[in-house]
Homo-oligomer: A and B are copies of this chain.
Amino acid sequence: MFSTTTYQNRRNTLRENVPSGILLFMGNIENPINFEHNTYPFRQDSTFLYYFGLSVPSLVALIDVDENREIIFGNEATIDDLVWTGPQESISKKAERVGVREVRPMGELANYIKQAVTSDRTVHYLPAYQSANKLQLSELLQVNYNALTASAPFIRAVAAQRSIKEDQEIVEIERAVAVSTEMHLLAMRLAKQGMKESEVVSAVQAFAANKDCPLAYPPIITIHGQILHNQVRSNALKSGDMVLIDAGAETAMGYAGDLTRTFPVSAAFDSRQRAVYQIVLDALTAARAELRPGTSFKSVHLHAAKVLVEGLKGIGLMKGDTEEAVRAHAHTMFFQCGLGHLMGLDVHDMEDLGEQYVGYTDEEPKDTLTFGLKSLRLGKALEPGFVLTVEPGVYIIPELIDHCKANKQYLDFINYDELEKFRDFGGIRLEDNFLITPNGHQLLGPDLIKSIDDVENYRAQYV
């Protein structure tokens, strides 16, 4: 947990940016798996963590801007609870540490909100992503949950504040990236022909857990790297395959790391793998060089796309004019997603607040229709203090080839005959994490090996 003044200062800044009404912060609950009391590991809501720091289930906090009050609502443990969970520090005691002196039973929240609503005061709340919070908000505000309307001023204020990372947050993120780096090295040492993907997942997860880090997201560890969010883990690794690992740790405070590497199951890449790997690496290097305040991330994305197209032309998979190909979105045959996203207390930072608010501006809104761009979570101009991922990739998706071919798409830019020879290629992604600095950018965490030589030399020791 950060210092008491950290949380106080954050809340004070927020109040200045939303100068009237009540700001409501819905904490998360312990979510049931298959019955109420069998629950998933608890994860507090990130905005709640940012302003109130307490990783305790079933809390709601509010800042009453009009009346200058800060209250945390929650129920203290009873003697019965104690039998099941052991003695717990009281919520009041915990609240003190984040500078909140008023703690009240949850039962009093409804009345507080009701009085505010009857006095025509505005109750600001953020978009609810957990159904339990949709239910609770709907009940508190006496509004059908379909009619819940999050507060744009509140969202904008939170997004603006959380987007610019404090130095102490950077330290936490670097810690997350450092553990993530070790997870990747472990996987590179461990992965062997015949081993199952799930075994690598287990080892990586155990490693992080022993560093007191949960995983920031379900890890992707797969020989089918072309499936972007592959959660199948039942394949055995075999010689000739590549392993794509997209995995990151989360610190105890909730900050994420998010790294991807792709390496051969054999000691070395084959010639096709080597060629495509270098193209992806070139795109990452080129994109990284563009990272500086004022540059829009959409332009970095498109720049990376052009580098990919150039490379793919070089190995005969694409053809035609590079600029035109990217304008026609032909690169999305290979690179179907966005180049990266903000990262912080969420691996996709503040995705719950809405990508339009977090990653775009009113002047340049998100393209929600175009294949490829609609998956770009960040488009706007970069600012010092932004933390983000850069993660270009080349993914050969047989079903997408068939689909585009059947629809006669990109005929001027794709060499379908050559591409057919790559049907079984799989996918390669490389991903690093960066901080935008006043003059450019800074790689976060240790420099995890990435060049073909470094990866092959490392693997050669363990294969």
Contacts and interface: CB of A to CB of B under 8 A. Distances in A.
B129 A130 contact: no
Contact of A145 (B84, B135, B345): B135
Nearest to A336: B83
Please state the number of chain copies in the assembly. 2
Interface in A197-238: 198-199, 201-203, 205-206, 209-210, 212, 217-218, 224, 226-232, 234
Nearest to A404: B79
Which size class do A's interface residues fall under? 35 or more
Interface in A125-153: 129-132, 134-135, 139, 145-146
A45 interface: yes
A159 interface: no
A366 interface: no
A218 B351 contact: no
A145 B137 CA distance: 13
A212 B351 CA distance: 32
A169 B346 CA distance: 41
A38 B86 contact: no
A351 B37 contact: yes
Contacts of A316: none
Nearest to A44: B34
Given A31-B31, A399-B79, A39 B218 contact: yes
A45 B203 CA distance: 28
Nearest to A351: B35
A129 B228 contact: no
A397 interface: yes
A35 B28 CA distance: 11
Nearest to A352: B35
Most B Cβ at <10 Å: residue of A33, A80, A134:
A33
Nearest to A136: B131
A196 B210 contact: yes
A7 to B, nearest CB: 19
A129 B32 contact: yes
A232 B85 CA distance: 9
A324 to B, nearest CB: 23
Interface of A: 28, 31-41, 43, 45-46, 79-80, 82-87, 129-132, 134-135, 139, 145-146, 196, 198-199, 201-203, 205-206, 209-210, 212, 217-218, 224, 226-232, 234, 336-337, 345-348, 350-352, 371, 395, 397, 399-400, 403
Given A34-B43, A205-B209, 16 more contacts: A28-B34, A32-B129, A33-B43, A34-B46, A36-B351, A37-B348, A38-B218, A38-B346, A38-B351, A80-B371, A84-B229, A85-B227, A86-B227, A86-B232, A131-B132, A131-B134
19 contacts: A31-B40, A33-B40, A33-B43, A34-B346, A34-B352, A35-B129, A35-B351, A38-B217, A39-B218, A79-B399, A79-B403, A80-B371, A83-B228, A84-B227, A84-B229, A85-B229, A86-B227, A86-B230, A202-B206
